[in-house]
């Protein structure tokens, strides 16, 4: 590998479901695209931008699809001289087409097969652009005119191909990350783009990074909607405004425990970690539901006080709560340990969130939920007593 000049090796972890979310097959996990109406400005500032992206902390294996230093031959028709020699642009194009495109002149039909007559230049004439002077162009009066007599031949460098995105010329930089959150890396890259790029060149986040950015942009709003829907559904089930709050009191400790576990183990809040938090909230919420249901039945059927009912619920339901918690934690433990090969490394954050959140919430909620239940039930009784006294006073 090191004996081949110019060779670059890129390592990329492939998940079990290899979904292509980028603009094209890339050499990195994330993509940042520059585009502009002005090709000269794009190719002028793109190398500078790519070099600065390489200096961003945590960004590795930066590469781009920009190849603008490839040798090219530019042919400029000398219009005045060509007009004097009766040579048209069409005849020049025809001569170059027959010389280098491998044109099919005509088929030769035989009884057993069909052969095609293909005209092409000898491969030895491809090596040096100076051989173009040996090509002759036919003028209108049938004379043969050397190509360099009517064409100016210039050797330059230019792009191998011009990539486009949404119809505009574009340059895509790909990169990977090491020990840095994607959100932080994107903020640093966009800050550099604002300081480096002119108004005519714009930078866009593409591929997996764009999915991450668009998904997490609406995350706070989605969380608020989710909490509101949970409250409404629990309120309908319990036919009460206070019990949903008691059940939902298990969510903050669980989320806090999951986030603290990620911080302690040096993991980032990735998409897998976010999925783990959603799973964790669903698992932990059933602890509150089990306690509240049993306590309500004790108050309704056995006429126990609020304090005695919730204590009885904690003692009776502690075993099933502990069993379900340990079962869920043991199921997520292999994921947290990274068991399953190289592809399992990306899902470690999911397992850590579930395991750490369950342990922390199990310890906290077994004491926090009964206290909240007692306070809310006391508040509810005072509220309804006031309403009852008020109604009785109005009746009198």
pLDDT for res 70: 77
DSSP 143: -
Domains and CATH numbers, the chain: 30-67+161-214 (3.30.70.1440), 70-157 (3.30.2090.10), 218-386 (1.20.1640.10)
Residues facing 171 on adjacent strands: 34
Whether 249 contacts 376, CB under 8 Å: no
Contacts of 142 (CB under 8 A, 6+ apart): none
Torsion, CA 73, CA 78, CA 84, CA 89, rounded to 10: 60
Is 60 exceeded by the pLDDT of residue 262?
Answer: yes
Alpha helices in 113-250 (DSSP H): 147-150, 182-196, 207-217, 219-238, 243-248
- Distance between CA 20 and CA 70 in Å, rounded? 29
Both tokens assigned to 287? 């602890």
Percent of the residues in the chain that have a pLDDT greater than 70, as a whole number: 85
Whether 78 contacts 151, CB under 8 Å: yes
Whether 234 contacts 226, CB under 8 Å: no
The mean pLDDT value for 88-97 works out to 86
C-alpha pair distances (Å), 278 with each of 67, 226, 246, 282: 44, 10, 19, 6
Is 50 exceeded by the pLDDT of residue 46?
Answer: yes
Residues facing 136 on adjacent strands: 146
Beta strands in the chain, from DSSP E residues, in sequence order:
30-36, 59-64, 70-77, 103-109, 114-119, 136-138, 144-146, 151-158, 164-165, 168-177, 201-206
Percent of the residues in the chain that have a pLDDT greater than 90, as a whole number: 0
Average pLDDT of the residues of the chain: 79
How long is the chain?
Answer: 396
The residue behind tokens 């990735």 is 270
pTM of the model: 0.56
pLDDT for res 26: 58
The residue behind tokens 């292509």 is 20
Residue-wise pLDDT for 210-257, tens only, equals 666 666 667 777 778 888 888 888 888 877 777 888 888 888 888 888
Is 80 exceeded by the pLDDT of residue 339?
Answer: no
Residue-wise pLDDT for 107-158, tens only, equals 888 888 888 888 777 777 777 788 888 888 888 888 888 888 888 888 877 7
Contacts of 282 (CB under 8 A, 6+ apart): none
pLDDT for res 19: 44
Pick the more confident residue, 349 or 208.
Answer: 349
Is 80 exceeded by the pLDDT of residue 316?
Answer: yes
Contacts of 284 (CB under 8 A, 6+ apart): 250, 251, 253, 254, 357, 358, 361, 365
Whether 247 contacts 366, CB under 8 Å: no
- Measuring CA to CA, which residue among 239, 279, 272 is closest to residue 361? 279
pLDDT for res 124: 76
Whether 367 contacts 229, CB under 8 Å: no
Interstrand relation of 103-109 and 114-119 (parallel, antiparallel or unpaired): antiparallel
Residues facing 137 on adjacent strands: 145
3-class DSSP state for residue 88? coil
> Which of 66-75, 103-112, 304-313, 378-387 has the lowest average pLDDT?
378-387
Whether 295 contacts 310, CB under 8 Å: yes
pLDDT for res 6: 63
Torsion, CA 95, CA 99, CA 102, CA 103, rounded to 10: 20
């Amino acid at each position: 590998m090191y004996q081949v000049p110019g060779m670059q090796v890129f390592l990329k972890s492939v998940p079990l479901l290899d979904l292509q979310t980028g603009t094209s097959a890339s050499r990195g996990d994330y993509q940042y695209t520059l585009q502009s109406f002005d090709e000269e400005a794009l190719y002028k500032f793109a190398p500078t931008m790519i070099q600065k992206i390489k200096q961003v902390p945590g960004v590795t294996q930066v590469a781009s699809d920009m190849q603008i230093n490839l040798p090219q031959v530019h042919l400029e028709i000398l219009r005045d001289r060509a007009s004097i020699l009766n040579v048209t642009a069409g005849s020049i194009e025809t001569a170059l087409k027959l010389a280098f495109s491998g044109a099919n002149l005509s088929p030769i039909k035989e009884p057993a097969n069909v052969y095609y007559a293909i005209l092409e230049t000898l491969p030895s004439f491809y090596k040096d652009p100076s051989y173009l002077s040996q090509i002759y162009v036919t003028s209108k009066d049938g004379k043969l005119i050397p190509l360099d007599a009517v064409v100016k031949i210039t050797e330059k460098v230019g792009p191998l191909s011009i990539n486009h995105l949404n119809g505009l010329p574009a340059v895509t930089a790909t990169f990977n990350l090491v020990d840095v959150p994607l959100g932080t890396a994107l903020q640093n890259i966009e800050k550099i783009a604002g300081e480096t790029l002119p108004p005519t060149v714009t930078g866009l986040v593409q591929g997996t990074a764009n999915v991450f950015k668009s998904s997490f942009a609406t995350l706070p709003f989605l969380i608020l909607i989710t909490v509101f829907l949970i409250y409404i559904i629990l309120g309908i089930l319990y036919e009460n405004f206070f019990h949903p709050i008691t059940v939902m009191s298990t969510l903050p400790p669980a989320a806090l425990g999951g986030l603290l576990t990620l911080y302690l183990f040096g993991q980032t809040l990735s998409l897998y970690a976010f999925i783990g938090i959603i799973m964790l909230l669903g698992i932990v919420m059933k602890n509150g539901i089990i306690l509240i249901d049993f306590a309500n039945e004790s108050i309704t059927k056995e006429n126990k006080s609020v304090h005695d009912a919730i204590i009885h619920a904690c003692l009776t339901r502690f075993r099933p709560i502990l069993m379900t918690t340990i079962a869920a934690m043991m199921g997520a433990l292999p994921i947290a340990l990274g068991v399953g090969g190289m592809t399992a490394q990306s899902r470690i954050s999911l397992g850590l969130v579930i395991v750490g959140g369950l342990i922390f919430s199990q310890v906290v909620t077994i004491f926090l939920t009964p206290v909240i239940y007692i306070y809310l039930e006391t508040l509810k009784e005072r509220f309804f007593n006031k309403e009852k006294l008020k109604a009785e006073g109005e009746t009198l």
